[in-house]
Amino acid sequence: MAEKEEIEILISDDGHLKFHIRGIKGPRCVDIAKSLANECGRIKEITYTSEYYQKEKEKREIRGLRKN
């Protein structure tokens, strides 16, 4: 079963946004945060969680072989 990916967006009283990105490992997480920030404003700070330093599981597709 694939790990659940989720993005939590918190909006403070003064209008600042905070993104919590879970289930997305490595630099892909930062890419998503930057994409969100491009739509919402500039990035003030990035805090890396332990998930950032983990590698994503390699996705493989296995197809059956047919004998001729």
pLDDT tens for each residue of 12-53: 898 888 888 888 888 888 888 888 888 887 777 888 888 878
Look at 67 and 19; give whichever has higher pLDDT: 19
Strand partners, 52: none
Residue 26 and residue 40 in contact, taking contact as beta carbons nearer than 8 Å: no
In the structure, what pLDDT confidence band is assigned to residue 59 with cuts at 50, 70 and 90?
Answer: low
Tokens 């969100």 locate to 36
> Is the whole-model pTM more than 0.85?
no
Q: Is the pLDDT of residue 1 over 80?
A: no
2 or 28, greater pLDDT: 28
